Amino acid sequence: MKITVVGSHLCPDTLYALCELRKKNVDIDFKNLSASLEGLKEYLSLREGLEIYKDIRENKGIGIPCFILEDGTKTLSLDEVLNK
């Protein structure tokens, strides 16, 4: 299974998720928002259009890490990803 992880190497939650996924030998495509303005723009567009970000937007949060599964499912839950 390949998982796209959208996050930042500056975010402890993102680093934790990457470590846990590597322990499970998951194939990871890491989109580091801190390294690319183009990636950040893409992420902001994604974030604005998804219902899973409603509470995060209202509370002025960032909402990372975000996980995108091979089937296109997007989630903010590492547990959900690890249990697939």
Interval 28-78: pLDDT, tens: 999 999 998 888 898 898 898 888 999 998 999 899 999 999 999 999 999
Give the single-character DSSP code of 52: G
Residue 78 parent element (H or E): helix 78-82
What is the mean predicted confidence (pLDDT) over 9-26? 96
Are the C-beta atoms of 66 and 3 separated by less than 8 Å? Answer: no
SS3 state at 59:
coil
Main-chain phi, psi angles of 10, to 5 degrees: -90, -5
pLDDT of residue 39: 85
Strand order in the sheet with 66-68: 27-32, 2-7, 66-68, 74-75
- Residue 46: its pLDDT value, please? 85
- From the number of C-beta atoms within 10 Å of its C-beta (0-12, 13-18, 19+), residue 64 rates as buried
Average pLDDT over residues 10-38: 95
